[in-house]
Amino acid sequence: MSIQLSSHFTYKKLFSFCFPPIMMMIFTSIYGVVDGFFVSNYVGKIPFAAINLVMPFIMIMGGVGFMIGTGGSALVAKTLGEGEQEKADRYFTMMIKLTVILGVLLTVAGVIFMRPISYLLGAKESMIEDCVIYGRIVLLFNTAFMLQNVFQTFLAAAEKPKLGLAVTAAAGVTNMVLDALFMVGFEWGVAGAAIATGIGQCVGGLLPFLYFIRPNDSRLRLRKAKMEGGALLRACANGSSELMSNISSSLISVIYNFQLLRFAGENGVAAYGTIMYVQFIFMAIFIGYTIGTAPIISYHYGARNHEELKNLLKKSLTAVSIAGVIMTAAAWVLAGPLSQVFVGYDTELFEMTKHAFRMFAFSFVLAGVNIFASSFFTALNNGGVSAAISFLRTLVFQVASVLALPVFLGLDGIWYSITVAEILAFFVSLAFLAGNRRKYHYA
């Protein structure tokens, strides 16, 4: 069934359009989990902890691409809704150019400063070489990683979500096969994990580029275009909420690691790393849904179709709320088996991880509403509100919780902190949705 951005969306059409982006993000998270599985089981607990320690910095670097993609696709889809195809293509091309330029600059800076950054993140001498080796190799492929993040959102805006899924699947299979080959077969350790990840990112970033640069039947084309500072600034400012969320999440991971080293040592960092890998699979459902819905919302906002905005908001809030309850129940039940996969070789670490993941599980109930609310305002080209929700949810509330709760609850306070932050963010999301209902006519 071919679905266009201009369609009226029933639940069936909405899920059909969003299913490929959801599966795309789940697949992305799964091959990230496979990375963790191979490192933890075939390289060791300390290298696994080292990778988790530098991962926040790597995600910040790649997250710049997500900022360009979300802000840029919102601008492009809105322009399509206004009926300006040539301008939409021009904006799209500028976003890809900007991604390549920033990708190269960030790669150079990251490789040079990887060692001091690893120490800054709290690396011990037993971890530092693994941190540097993994970080530098992965960052060599950072431009491809940024392009992969950009194209994940633009493929939905181009009405080609299934192509996005196919590309991500190809990247994921490449990564997983090479993980097994490099770490189990060749015994290359963390370097093997990094090379496998980088090659997978090249597949995810370069295949869509080749698709768009050739004649195709999508809504978007890469064509000659001069860089327009105003449009680039608007797109980046609007997408800054996603970058803020990415940076905040990464900074939070650093604070979690510091607190866990203090309360539980390296076992705590390894347990948290396992939870983050698995949590991303669950969160991927919400993120994939927002990637699918964002260009639809932007298009109808540009077309001034207020009734469809109302329809999309109502159906989306219902869908993510139901999904949140289901995921919480699933996470509680699967906490043991999932922990066993990663750290079953260590009884103490396994019990800590299983217990922690069950506490984390409650955060899924409200996480979907908060993630969608932030994405909804990005799609409406209101980066300020979107950034406020993301900033409060992923930085302010989590920092306050992870620092304050352990004072009263010890180690359990760290595991409960994300749920407390989601509860506080839920009320902020509701306040912004209610406060802007007349401005955007979705009430």
pLDDT at residue 242 in the model: 72
What range defines the domain where residue 208 resides?
Answer: 11-440
Torsion of CA 361, 365, 368, 374, to 10 degrees: -100
**CB 67, CB 239: distance < 8 Å:** yes
Q: Encode pLDDT of 45-64 as tens digits.
A: 788 778 878 887 888 888 88
- Evaluate whether residue 3 is within a structural domain: no
Residue 375 in any domain: the answer is yes
Task: With CA atoms as reference, report the closest residue to 131 among 262, 248, 269.
Answer: 269
343 lies in some domain: yes
Count of beta carbons in the 10 Å neighbourhood of residue 17: 23
Torsion of CA 356, 119, 149, 73, to 10 degrees: 100
Distances (CA, A) of 154 to 21, 77, 94, 361: 11, 9, 13, 31
- DSSP-based three-state secondary structure for 283: helix
How many angstroms separate the Cα of 207 from the Cα of each of 47, 123, 145, 270, 311? Answer: 31, 36, 12, 34, 34
Q: Is 411 inside a domain boundary?
A: yes
Residues 307-323: tens digit of each pLDDT: 999 999 999 999 999 99
239 in a domain, yes or no?
yes
Q: How many domains does the chain have?
A: 1
CA distance 243 to 70: 9
Length of the chain counted residue by residue = 443
Q: State the maximum Cα–Cα separation within the chain, in Å, rounded to a whole number.
A: 61
Per-residue pLDDT tens digits for 386-428 = 888 988 988 889 889 989 998 888 888 888 898 999 999 999 9
pTM: 0.79
- Would residue 69 count as lying in a domain? yes
Query: How high is the pLDDT of residue 32?
Result: 65
Residue 4 within any structural domain of the chain: no
Sites in the chain below the pLDDT cut of 50: none
pLDDT at 244 (0 to 100):
74
Residue 325 lies in a domain: yes
* DSSP state for residue 185 in the 8-state scheme: I
From the list 180, 251, 147, 193, the residue with the least C-alpha distance to 51 is: 193
**Burial class of residue 84 (count of CB atoms within 10 Å of its CB; 0-12, 13-18, 19+):** middle
**pLDDT at residue 279 in the model:** 80
- 27 in Cβ contact with 165 (< 8 Å): yes
What's the confidence (pLDDT) of residue 366? 93
Give the DSSP H or E segment for 218: none
Over 82-141, what HEC string results?
CCCHHHHHHHHHHHHHHHHHHHHHHHHHHHHCHHHHHHHCCCCHHHHHHHHHHHHHHHCC
Residue 250 near residue 59 (C-beta atoms within 8 A):
yes
| pLDDT (0 to 100) of residue 236 | 86
Cβ partners under 8 Å of residue 188, min gap 6: 182, 195
CA geometry: angle 196, 199, 205, nearest 5 deg: 140
Q: What pLDDT score does 341 carry?
A: 72
